[in-house]
Every structure is written in C-alpha cells, then in structure tokens.
Amino acid sequence: ALGLLESRQGSGTIIKKSGASATLSDIIPTIMFEIEDNLQIFEFHKGIQIECAKLACLRYTEAQMDKLLFHSGKMKEYYAENDRKSAIFHDLECHKTICEMTGNLMFVRATEIIYQRLEQCFQQIGTSFDYKESLVFHERLIAALKDHNPVFSASVMEAHQWDTYQKFLSLSKDGHM
C-alpha cells in the first residue's frame, strides 16, 4: 500500500511512521490534482472547513487569533475600498488561519492545495456577489471561536460554506466556472 504499511507476523499490520509523512505529502497533492471537477474539490473543502472550525475553537493560540483578526480587518478594509481581489486574498487567509488553529497539518496542507486549485473560482465568486454576507459570517465565526464553542463554530462555518457553495453552483450553471 504505497510503502505505508508494514506487516509483522504475530503483530499485525501497522502504519510505518517514518514513511507516512513523506508519502502523505505526495499522496494528497496527487489525489487533489487528479480530480478535474472543481465542484468535488469545493465539496471536500466545505467539509474540511466545518471540521476545522470545531477544532480551532478548542486549540488556537492568542497569536493565531491575532492573525485571524488581522486578516479579517484587512478583508473588511479592502471590501470597503472595493478592492475585491485584495479582500478575497484576506478572506482566504482567514480560512487558512482557521486551519492552522487546529494544529492539524493534514487540514493545513489540504487547504493550501485546494486554494491553489480554486483560487480563480473564489475570485469569481467574490467579484460576482455581494460581500456583506461574508463579513457577517466572519464576525460570527470569530465570536464563536473566542467563545470556545465547537457546535456554534461549526454551525456558523457550515452556513458560510453553504452560502459560498450556492454561489459556486450558480456560477457553474451560468458557465463561469
């Protein structure tokens, strides 16, 4: 199984610790870049973001929260200036920071790859729809994270991702994705 497993008679099959991280670094990008359907990638992203919101509220450091607040502030600032490209950059940085807050490198790496693949899609969504909903979702999410409430954090993120997913589907139907 790609050199990840080691069978030992009488001990069973185990995952090799030494080869696992290097191999996983190769497997995740391979899987992500083999998939041509942006909708499937976005659906995977949606699930990651919801789980990250749950874990982030229990694990974040003050430095990570400061980073999230910085990017959230910049996102608001750039939207107010109608600089959507810069605003979307900081919007995505907020989501990357939430992944980092989990301390789970699988989420962080998968999100980096997803954003490489879907960057143009997110730019299209950001320029095609009203951004005010996104600002409200981010404010609610920050409040839920600060409250250390995984259920509320996940529900806010799910609503945010569902809203973005509907926009993604709308653009896909119109042939923009």
Looking at residue 155, its pLDDT comes to 97
Tens of pLDDT, residue by residue over 123-167, are 888 778 878 888 999 999 999 999 999 999 999 999 999 998 988
Give the burial class of 10: count Cβ atoms within 10 A of its Cβ; 0-12 exposed, 13-18 middle, 19 or more buried: exposed
Tens of pLDDT, residue by residue over 9-53, are 766 655 555 544 545 555 555 555 555 678 888 888 999 999 999
Encoded tokens for 143 = 């409040």
Q: Is the pLDDT of residue 110 over 60?
A: yes
Tens of pLDDT, residue by residue over 83-97, are 999 999 999 999 999
Task: Name the nearest CA neighbour of 92 among 78, 104, 106.
Answer: 78
Comparing 11 with 64, which gets the higher pLDDT? 64
Token pair 């199984």 is at which residue? 1
Amino acid letter, residue 114: I
Name the band, by pLDDT with cuts 50, 70 and 90, for residue 175.
low
* Secondary structure (3-state) at 149: coil
